[in-house]
Amino acid sequence: MDLLYYSLAILAGFALLIWSSDRFVDGAADLARHFGVSPMVVGMIIIGFGTSAPEMLVSSLAAFNGNPQIGIGNAIGSNITNIALVLGITAIFYAIPVKSRIVRIELPMLLAVTVLAAVLLSFGDFGRLDGLVLLLVLGFVLSWMIYSAKHKYPDELLTDIEEHFPNTHRTTAMFWTVAGLTLLLVSSQMLVWGASHIATLLGVSDLVIGLTIVAIGTSLPEVAATLMSAKKGETDLAIGNIVGSNFFNTLGVLALPALINPHTPDIDAIYRDMPISLLLTAILLLFAWGCWQKRIIKFWKGVILFSLFLGYQVLLFVQSTQHITCQSWLCF
């Protein structure tokens, strides 16, 4: 009965999280425009923070509640889910040409910041200095993207985003900004509460719950945004959703547990999950740059990505099962 109760809390949290995230981002973006913020800057907010808002709120609350491993698992697991599941499924149904010069430059940068995050985690003590380093790099990356889009590499990606901006009255925008943020906090608390209790009931680690249930659930906005963009033929926007979100996950979401609740990362996050995230990022770079097929991610590449995601989930399940069995028999 308890398991059903916590599962319902997670499902309700997910549904409210996704809906409130859309309302908050639309309201904040429109409010920013009313105050004269550049459409280019608002576009970067939508592509990055918009789809990563659930991960940020969930990781923050998990760290505040004493479960920082859920936050780490959420950040790493969301990156893995974005590339292997979201992009994999999208490529199976829709070919994704990589036309944007910005995206082709961002992918090597994404690989570089993933390496940086892996190095910081490998030191063992994941503290406030590590979190600060990640946030400073995030600020640099966002500044560089905005400068490049304005002056060096005009990008159709941001043009596509600007066409989707809401256009409401300032009061309405203010209301949805406040209401959306409030509901984000409530739904995130529901999700973290249910996930942490399920981890306790099932005898699995907070990290695994973060990598699976929480990561997949908080990645649902990316699934919807990427599939709809590809369906409409906005392929740069489709892959841009993934790249932008992974930048925020790696540099923003991962920084939050370190800043809020410094701790020692689970050894599996260091030696299993971050290397897999690195591998998938490298594969995405390889696919996007045009190996075997010129700058296009299509069916067979999608099958490979999706198969890797399924393989990773099986690995987590097998290792978690072995851990539970070992604990029950008091083996060492």
Delimit the domains of the chain by residue range.
Answer: 2-328
Provide the pLDDT for residue 85.
92
The reported pLDDT for the residue numbered 259 is 94
Average pLDDT, rounded, for the chain = 79
Give me the mean pLDDT over the 171-176 stretch: 79
Q: Quote the pTM value.
A: 0.80
User: Can you give the length of the chain in residues?
Assistant: 332
pLDDT for the residue 119 = 95
Residues above pLDDT 70, as percent of the chain: 75
Rounded to whole angstroms, the Cα distance separating 188 from 232 reads 31
- For residue 16, pLDDT over 60 is answered with yes
CATH architecture of 2-328: Up-down Bundle (1.20)
- Average pLDDT on 115-135 reads 93
Q: Residue 211: pLDDT band by 50, 70, 90 thresholds?
A: confident
pLDDT at 107 over 50: yes
CA dist 54 and 167 (Å) reads 23
Q: Give pLDDT, residue 161.
A: 52
One-letter amino acid at 86 equals V
∠ at Cα 272 (71, 85), nearest 5°? 70
